[in-house]
């Protein structure tokens, strides 16, 4: 009888150990899932890196597109961003950074020591100071945390003559899957990192919105990405992506996505296979979502996903009688009393301001 009781005890302990083991395996599998959201913010970059319950943001897009970014973050439930990486101090990459710091309890901002004499640059510094975010200066060979993963900094040249070539370039790996974030690196810089590192990757954030000065053939050939994502605004004035650059990107990539055509692109990695979903929002507040899956090999398979995402569009009726204010050097229009409006303000009708290409200040509008 005693032997039977002992046997039952042993069996119970074995079953308990099995359940604990299964639970731990599920936790490991959940933690291994990496999702990279290439958010559609028009002509700019904003890439959200999600690992487990941790969120990091690489660039923010322009200030004028901040509401697009904020709306997307709200829809997927982001309330806190652990770290903000600003690749270089151009307005289409840091324009919304001060607002992200303000709204998402950012504790660490990663930047190079490359400075800019722009309002957007000083807004970042002021926001970091006002909201207790620590600025960490990044140099080559540093590591940047993305949840429990760490990204390798392949380049971060604060002494570069051009701000684009001061871009922080990050290689992020999740087991067998690899992602390369290139900022606005030129073809020369792309080729340089190709010579120094193994840049054969799975997912490429195409440099400089598909500019003709980037996406070098040698670099793309060695990278040979399965998925390339171009963050670019629809009908932008720069002509991005440039047709020959796009031809090169398509030649050396298995699949190319564009935010101006595909909307926000989300690449999910379980450490072995990749899955891509795209979300296109239109002015009728409806959307189209497609999902494709591919393994880490060159062959891929696809499946469909019925999930939908509707963007929020804000419209307002105005007349030429509405008065706003601009400055000689700024690109925004303001309401009277805005803290970013200098004493040399110039009154102008809202209609004329929009026709001249001015965009609303996010603080007073």
Residues 6+ apart with CB under 8 A from 62: 41, 42, 43, 44, 91, 92, 95, 96, 359
Q: What is the DSSP string of 262-275?
A: H-EEEEEE-SS-EE
Please report, in tens digits, the pLDDT of each residue of the chain (365 residues total): 555 556 666 566 666 555 444 444 344 444 459 999 999 999 999 999 999 999 999 999 999 999 999 999 999 999 999 999 999 999 999 999 999 999 999 999 999 999 999 999 999 999 999 999 999 999 999 999 999 999 999 999 999 999 999 999 999 999 999 999 999 999 999 999 999 999 999 999 999 999 999 999 999 999 999 999 999 999 999 999 999 999 999 999 999 999 999 999 999 999 999 999 998 864 333 344 444 444 444 433 333 333 322 223 333 333 346 888 888 667 788 888 775 666 668 888 888 788 777 888 766 66
- Domain 33-302, what fold? Metallo-beta-lactamase; Chain A (3.60.15)
Residues 6+ apart with CB under 8 A from 171: 151, 152, 154, 178, 179, 180, 197, 199, 201
Q: How far apart are CA 288 and CA 271, in angstroms?
A: 27
Secondary structure (3-state) at 42: coil
Q: How far apart are CA 182 and CA 174, in angstroms?
A: 18
Whole-prediction pTM value? 0.73
Largest Cα separation within the chain, whole Å, is: 96
In the chain, CATH 3.60.15.10 covers 33-302
Residue 236, sorted as left (phi over 0), alpha (psi -120 to 50) or beta, turns out to be beta
């Amino acid at each position: 009888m005693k032997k039977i009781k002992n046997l039952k005890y042993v069996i119970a302990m074995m079953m308990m150990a099995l359940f604990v083991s299964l639970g731990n395996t599920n936790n490991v599998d959940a933690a291994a899932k990496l999702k990279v959201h290439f958010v559609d913010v028009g002509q700019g970059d904003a890439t959200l890196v999600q690992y487990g319950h941790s969120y990091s943001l690489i660039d923010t897009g322009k200030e004028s597109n901040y509401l697009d970014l904020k709306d997307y973050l709200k829809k997927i439930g982001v309330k806190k961003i652990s770290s903000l990486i600003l690749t270089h101090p151009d307005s289409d990459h840091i324009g919304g950074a001060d607002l992200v710091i303000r709204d998402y309890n950012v504790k660490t901002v990663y930047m190079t020591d490359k400075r800019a004499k722009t309002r957007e640059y000083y807004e970042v510094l002021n926001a970091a100071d006002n909201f207790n975010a620590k600025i960490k200066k990044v140099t080559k060979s540093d590591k940047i945390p993305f949840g429990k993963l760490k990204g390798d900094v392949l380049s971060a040249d604060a002494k570069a003559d051009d701000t684009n070539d001061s871009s922080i370039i990050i290689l992020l790996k999740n087991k067998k899957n690899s992602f390369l974030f290139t900022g606005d690196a030129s073809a020369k810089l792309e080729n340089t990192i190709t010579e120094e590192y193994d840049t054969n990757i799975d997912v490429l954030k195409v440099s400089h919105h598909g500019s003709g000065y980037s996406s070098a053939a040698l670099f793309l050939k060695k990278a040979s990405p399965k998925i390339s994502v171009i963050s670019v605004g629809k009908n932008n004035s720069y002509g991005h992506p440039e047709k020959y650059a796009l031809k090169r990107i398509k030649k050396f990539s298995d699949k190319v996505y564009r935010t101006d055509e595909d909307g926000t692109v989300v690449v999910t990695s379980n450490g072995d296979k990749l899955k891509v979903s795209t979300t296109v929002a239109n002015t009728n507040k409806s959307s189209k979502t497609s999902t494709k899956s591919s393994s880490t090999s060159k062959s891929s398979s696809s499946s469909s996903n019925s999930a939908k995402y509707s963007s929020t569009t804000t419209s307002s009726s105005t007349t030429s009688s509405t008065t706003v204010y601009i400055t000689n050097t700024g690109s925004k229009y303001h309401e009277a009393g805005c803290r970013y409006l200098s004493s040399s303000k110039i009154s102008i009708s809202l209609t004329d301001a929009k026709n001249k290409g001015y965009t609303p200040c996010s603080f007073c509008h």
